[in-house]
Amino acid sequence: MLSVARIADESAIRSIVHHPDIWGRVAEHDGLQWRYEPNDVYLGVFREEMLVGVWHVQSKNGVCGIVHPMILPEHRTVSADSEKLLCSWLKVNSKARKLIAEIPSIYRDVIWFASRCGYNREGRLRNACQRRGDVMDLIIMGKELWVPL
C-alpha cells in the first residue's frame, strides 16, 4: 500500500535527498549542502511502512507551492501515484491552489513526468540555473489544485 504523511525527521529526509541518484540531479554544484527548512512541507512517500521518497513543497506565497519530488530509483513506478496522494493531502491540509515545478531543461524525463501528472508548461527562464558548471534554462510547469468555477 502506498501512502504519504508529513515528516519532520531531518535524518530520514536527508537519507532520501542525499541518495546519489537524487542528489546528483538536484544539487546545483558539488559544494552545495542540503538544508532542512522547518516552514516547508515534507511529505514522506511510504510503500507499506518503508520510506521510499519525499515530496518537498516550498511555499511561494499563500496559495502557491514549488514542488520537488525525490523518489528512490527502485520505487519510481509509484511516482505518479504518490503525486496524486500529494495533491489530495495538500487540498485537505493547506491553502495551496497551485503547484509549480522548476525543471532544468536537460531533464526531459522529469518534464515528461510532470506532464503525465497534469502539469502544463507555463514558461522558460533562460540561463536561470546551473548543473555541474553548465548554465541552462529552467522550464516552469504548473498544476491547478482547485479550478475556479
Q: What size, in residues, is the chain?
A: 149
Query: Does residue 78 contact residue 58 with C-beta atoms inside 8 Å?
Result: no
Residues 6+ apart with CB under 8 A from 48: 1
| 130 band by pLDDT with thresholds 50, 70 and 90 | confident
CA pair distance 142, 101, nearest whole angstrom: 6
- pLDDT (tens digit per residue) in 72-127: 999 999 999 999 999 999 999 999 999 999 999 999 999 999 999 999 999 999 99
- For Cα atoms 61, 46, 1, give the angle at the middle one, nearest 5 degrees: 125
Report pTM. 0.92
